[in-house]
A and B are shown apart, each in its own frame.
Chain A
Amino acid sequence: MQDIITGIAYVVGDDVDTDQIIPAEYLMYNPSVPAERKLFGRYAMVGVPPAGAGLPKGRVPFVDQTDESNSRSRFSIVIGGRNFGCGSSREHAPLALAEAGVQAVVAEDYARIFFRNSVNGGYLVPFQCAQRLCESVQTGDELEIRVAEGLLRNKTRNTTHKLEPLGDVAPIIEAGGVFEYAKRTGMLK
C-alpha cells in the first residue's frame, strides 16, 4: 500500500449496490482471462442511475464509453455515502473499480462482503469517514489520502477530513490481500 494516494474524486450517494458498480449482464466474463478482466474496468459503475452518477450534478460517465477500447477511468478515488457495495457477493465489484484505476474508496460505511472482498482480494483500500463526504466533496475535486496519518485532504476545497483507522484488516491490506497475508504469517507456504 502506498503512503499517499492521490487522485480525482468521483462522488456517488448512499446504497450504491454491486449491480450499479458492475451490472449482472457483464458477469459472464472471467476475471482470470486478461482480455475479459479489462472489460470489468470498462463497465465499472455503468449501472449507477444518471442522476447519481458523479455528484453533485450527476450524468458524469465514470469511464468514457466513446472510445471502445477504453477501460480506465480518470477518477481514481471514489467517494460514497452509506452502505457502499451492498447487494451481491460478486468480487467483480471491487475488481471492476480496481481495473478502472481506482485505488481507494472513502465511504461512511460499507456492506460487509464488498469490504471483505476489497481487502482479501487486495483490490483497493476501503476507507471509512464519519463525515458525509458525498455532500461536501464534488466530482472532479483533487484529493490526497495520507494513509499513515489517516487524513484525506481535498486540495480543490482546501479542507482536511479525518479517516477511521483501518483496524483489524490493516495487516491484510498491508500485505496486499489474504493470500499474501497468510504467506507472511506462515499459514500458507
Chain B
Amino acid sequence: MGMTITEKILARHAGKARVAPGENVWVNVDILMTHDVCGPGTIGIFNEQFGAGAKVWDPDRVVIIPDHYIFTADAICHRNIQTLRDFVKAQGIRYYYDPDFVKGDGMPSPYRDPSQTRYKGVCHKALPEEGHVRPGEILLGTDSHTCTAGALGQFATGVGNTDAAFVLGTGKTWLKVPATMKFVFHGHIPPYLSAKDLILAVIGRISVSGATYRSLYFTGEGIASLTLEDRMTLTNMAIEAGGKNGVCDVDEKTLRYVRSRSTRDDWEVVEEDDDASYHSVHEWDLGAMEPLVAKPHSPDNTAAARECADVKLDRAYVGSCTGGKITDMIFVASLLAGREVKIPTFVVPGSTEVHADMLRLNVRGQEKAAGEKSIWETLEAAGCQMGASSCAACLGGPKDTFGRLNEPINCISTTNRNFPGRMGHKQAGVFLASPLTVAASALTGHVTDPREFVTKPIATGEAGTV
C-alpha cells in the first residue's frame, strides 16, 4: 500500500522505509523557526536544560523572525527583541531578521524603506520568501500557523517552547504520524472566490476539531488552479480545523518559487502515492461554491456572505499570514480602486517584501508605469489606514497595537481566528472572510458578497510567483 506525502516525509526523516498513522517516531528536523513571543522562553529552557554555554545543534537550521510585538511602546517587548539579538550573536545564527529600528525607547518608528531593512515581518510569509521552505523537509516553528509552509509540499507544524528547546539542542523531536484527510477541489477557481472561501468551507463542514491529530491534504485541479500564495492561505488555516499539518502537491509553480529562493539545493520533492490510504475524502466543486464568512466566535461558524447582509460592520482589517500577501492586497485594491471605504479599514502587509511590492506594483500586479498608482497609493486613496508589516491586530497584542479592537465592535477581517478576544476586546465580533469579501464589505459597511463588485477575473500578474 502507498503512502501520503506526510507519511513519506516522516518516514524519511525517521530513517524508516515506511510509517503508519498512529505510530510515534523520532525524526530529524530540517528547520526550527521561532519569533519574539516564544523565542525568549524557548531560549530560557534551552539554557536551563543544555547549560548556559551550550550550542544549538546547527546554527544554519535555526531561523529567528521577530514579528509579533514590534510596533509597541512596551519596554518588555523591546527587551524580548534584545534577548533574541544576544542569543543570535552568541550562537552564530545567520538567519535572523532584526527589526533594526527597535531601539528600546517608546513606539519605534517603522522602517523608512521596506526594501532596505533586515526586518521581514510575519514569519510564515517571510520563511518561504527568504528561502527556508523546501518540498520534502520538516519545519517546526513555535507558532501554530507554521503549517502554512505545507503549501510548498513540506511537513510543517507548530510546537511549544519546550519542544523547540529540545530541537535546538538535539535537532530531533518525536511525532505521532497523523492519518490524512483528503480534500479534493474540482473545477477552476472563479474570480469571486479565493482560497479563504475554500478553507472556511472545509472548517465549516468538519468543525474546528474535525482534523485534530490529522493531516489535511488539499488536491485536485482546483488547487492546481490556485496561486502558490492562495495555497498558503489553505494550509495556513489547517490548524483552525485542529490539524497537525496541511499539505499541497508540488507543481511547476512551487518549483519555480523554491528554486529561485532556497538557501540550499539538497532537497527532494515527495509525491502522494495513488494508492495511499485516507482517514476520509471530502470533495467540492468550485463552480458551486459561494463566498463565505465565519461569524463570531469560531472559524467553523460559517455562512454564505450573502446571507449576512444585515450585519452592520464597524471596521475592516486586511493583514496577517493568512490575508496579508501580495495577491490578497491586489484582490483588495482591485475592488477599492477609484472608490472610498465606508468604515475604518486597516491594512497591514504580511511582510516587508509585500510592502515593497505594494509600492512597486499596480493593481494588476505589474510594475507600475510613471504616473500610475501603486497598490499602496490605491488603498490610501480609497481611505484605508496603512500600517507597517507585523502580526499586528490579528492576535490583539499589546493595547497600542495598530488596528487592535479595543472596543466591543464588529470587524470583518482577512485573518485566521475569531475566538473571543482574539483581536483584542472580549466582546468584539470578528467575521473572517476572503480579501474580496472584506473589500466589498469595507465599501458598503455591512457584510457583502463580493459578486456585487467582481465582474471579471482579477489579474495578479507575476506578483508573488517567484
Contacts and interface: CB of A to CB of B under 8 A. Distances in A.
A32 B48 contact: yes
B139 to A, nearest CB: 13
Interface in A148-189: 168, 177-179, 182, 187-188
A134 B399 CA distance: 33
Given A32-B45, A111-B242, A116-B163, A87 B397 contact: no
Contact of B69 (A28, A82, A110, A177): A28
B143 A89 contact: yes
Question: In which size bucket is the chain A interface?
Answer: 35 or more
A47 interface: yes
Interface in B30-60: 37-38, 40-41, 43-45, 47-49
B144 A113 contact: yes
B153 interface: no
Interface string A106-132: 000111110011001110000000000
B399 A25 contact: yes
Given A15-B208, A15-B419, A23-B421, A88 B395 contact: yes
B444 interface: no
A27 B37 contact: yes
The residue among B43, B146, B420 with the most chain A CB atoms within 10 A of its own CB is B420
A82 B4 CA distance: 28
Interface string A92-115: 100000000000000001111100
User: Range of interface residues on chain B?
Assistant: 35 or more
Of listed B83, B170, B212, residue having the most chain A CB within 10 A: B212
Nearest to A52: B420
Question: Which DSSP category, helix, strand, loop or mixed, fits chain A's interface?
Answer: loop
A34 to B, nearest CB: 11
B80 A30 contact: yes
B152 to A, nearest CB: 20
B43 A32 contact: yes
Interface stretch (B154-162, B313-321, B447-455): B154-162
A147 B419 CA distance: 33
Residue with the highest number of chain A CB atoms closer than 10 Å, among B49, B83, B170, B399: B49
A142 interface: no
Contacts of A91: 38, 41, 142, 160-162
The 9 closest A-B pairs by CB, nearest first: A32-B44, A91-B160, A89-B158, A117-B160, A83-B209, A89-B144, A121-B162, A17-B419, A91-B161
14 contacts: A19-B396, A20-B419, A25-B399, A30-B44, A31-B41, A31-B44, A88-B395, A91-B41, A112-B212, A112-B242, A113-B144, A117-B163, A179-B49, A182-B166
Interface of A: 15, 17, 19-20, 23-25, 27-33, 36, 47-49, 82-83, 86-92, 109-113, 116-117, 120-122, 168, 177-179, 182, 187-188
